[in-house]
């Protein structure tokens, strides 16, 4: 199950820097997770300064 980035994202890029498989990229208004590439390690969740990343339901 991939992680998802909420609208609380401030587009700082910290999550992309922590992703070991480069599954996170800038989107139109926030960063987005490529669900097919995400290995669900949680590194992005730990690296987000505003808590905008959670495991998908």
We report the CATH number of the domain holding residue 22 as 3.30.70.20
More confident residue, 40 or 1: 40
Q: How many structural domains are present in the chain?
A: 1
The domain containing residue 36 runs over which residues?
3-51
Q: Is the pTM of this model over 0.75?
A: yes
> Residue 31 pLDDT > 90, yes or no?
yes
Residue 46's pLDDT is 93
Please check whether residue 22 lies inside any domain of the structure: yes
24-32's contacts with Cβ under 8 Å and 24+ in sequence apart are 30/5, 30/6, 31/5, 32/5
pLDDT of 44 strictly over 90: yes
Dihedral sign of CA atoms 21, 44, 14, 54 in order? positive
- Domain contains 24: yes
């Amino acid at each position: 199950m991939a992680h998802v980035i909420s609208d609380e994202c401030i587009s700082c890029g910290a999550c992309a820097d922590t992703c070991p498989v480069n599954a996170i990229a800038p989107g139109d208004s926030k960063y987005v997770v490529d669900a097919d590439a995400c290995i669900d390690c949680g590194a992005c969740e730990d690296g987000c300064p505003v808590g905008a990343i959670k495991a998908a339901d």
